[in-house]
């Protein structure tokens, strides 16, 4: 049975832990509010550029672009978005497990695929398993700007254009609510589903459609990556906020249980001392 000193030490250490988790919960809550606003603010831009690109790509005859055409798949790229830190519940593990299982099901050789990792947790996961990583980026801010990922987004699109890989899937946590995030896989390239359920609008083009597509399509693909990153960041902060709240609640429950044990042990010790004193006094009579 633990001594009074041991129980008291556990109570004090658990209190310190609860203070840390409470502080992390508050920080995550503040970051979550900003991240959620950033993700929602980006949606109108995403919808508009998709509308314009779809109309340019499908509203004109004889206009084509390599990013819109499927080709025989020799190598597949997987862009995986995770966090740089843990302590966010199953946020990282859900994405990594999904990607890893998908790779095991779709491919038989490492020559058939490669990873583009955004986030330290994903990078470390794939490195430990000797899975090839083409590109990586870590240390992103809690509220990332497009400039933070422009280079990796541009390189990713360029690698599809130059044939390094023939298709690209993007896997990340989609933000549903503060307590729910869904692992989502999107086929980023080629942009074969760019006009799904889109109502075409008539546009006048200057310069030609081909020149507009040459500029817009890479920008659109890059914006998809940035939009997914903002979505993932909102999910990350929400998941960490929930995880830290649960940790704080569990710490408080443990403190209550330990305090009860401490009081019982202390009461038992006092009772034992009283019994010994009474027994000693009786022996002197």
Q: Please report, for the domain that includes residue 223, its CATH number.
A: 3.40.1380.10
Residue 194 has pLDDT above 80, yes or no: no
- Asked if the structure places residue 266 within a domain, the reply is no
Residues 17-33 pLDDT 10s: 999 999 999 999 999 99
Rounded-to-integer distance, Cα 159 and Cα 218, Å:
11
What does the pLDDT read at residue 24?
94
- Asked if the structure places residue 2 within a domain, the reply is no
What does the pLDDT read at residue 42?
92
Residues 199-226 pLDDT 10s: 656 667 677 777 878 888 888 888 999 9
Residues 54-68 pLDDT 10s: 777 765 555 667 788
* Pair type for strands 167-177 and 180-189: antiparallel
Rounded-to-integer distance, Cα 35 and Cα 40, Å:
9
- Asked if the structure places residue 270 within a domain, the reply is no
Supply the range of the domain harboring residue 69: 25-242
Rounded-to-integer distance, Cα 129 and Cα 171, Å:
18
- Asked if the structure places residue 172 within a domain, the reply is yes
- Asked if the structure places residue 282 within a domain, the reply is no
- Asked if the structure places residue 260 within a domain, the reply is no
> Before 145, cis peptide (omega within 30)?
no
Element (H, E) at 227: helix 209-284
Rounded-to-integer distance, Cα 67 and Cα 159, Å:
11
- Asked if the structure places residue 227 within a domain, the reply is yes
The tally of domains found in the chain comes to 1
- Asked if the structure places residue 268 within a domain, the reply is no
Both tokens of 29, joined, read 């809550």
| Of 269, 216, 183, nearest in space to 50 by CA | 216
52 vs 267, higher pLDDT: 267
Across 85-110, average pLDDT:
94
């Amino acid at each position: 049975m633990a001594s009074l000193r041991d129980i008291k030490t556990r109570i004090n250490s658990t209190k310190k832990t609860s203070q840390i988790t409470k502080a992390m919960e508050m920080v995550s809550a503040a970051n979550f509010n900003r991240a959620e606003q950033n993700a929602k603010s980006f949606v109108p831009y995403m919808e508009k550029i998709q509308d314009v690109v779809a109309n340019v790509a499908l509203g004109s005859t004889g206009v084509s672009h390599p990013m819109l055409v499927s080709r025989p798949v020799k190598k597949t790229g997987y862009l995986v978005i995770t966090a740089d830190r843990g302590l966010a519940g199953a946020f990282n593990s859900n994405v990594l497990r999904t990607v890893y299982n998908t790779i095991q099901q779709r491919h038989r050789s490492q020559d058939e695929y490669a990873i583009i990792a955004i986030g330290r947790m994903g990078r470390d996961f794939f490195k430990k398993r000797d899975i090839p990583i083409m590109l990586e980026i870590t240390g992103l801010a809690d509220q990332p700007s497009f400039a933070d990922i422009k280079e990796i987004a541009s390189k990713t699109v360029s690698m599809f254009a130059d044939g390094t890989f023939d298709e690209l899937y993007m896997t990340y946590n989609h933000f549903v609510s503060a307590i729910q995030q869904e692992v989502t896989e999107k086929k980023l390239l080629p942009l074969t589903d760019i006009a799904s359920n889109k109502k075409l609008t008539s546009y006048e083009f200057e310069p030609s459609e081909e020149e507009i597509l040459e500029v817009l399509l890479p920008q659109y693909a890059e914006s998809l990556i940035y939009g997914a990153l903002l979505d993932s960041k909102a999910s990350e902060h929400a998941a960490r906020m929930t995880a830290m709240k649960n940790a704080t609640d569990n710490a408080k429950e443990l403190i209550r249980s330990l305090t009860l044990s401490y009081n019982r042990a202390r009461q038992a010790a006092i009772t034992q001392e009283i019994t010994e004193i009474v027994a000693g006094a009786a022996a002197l009579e």
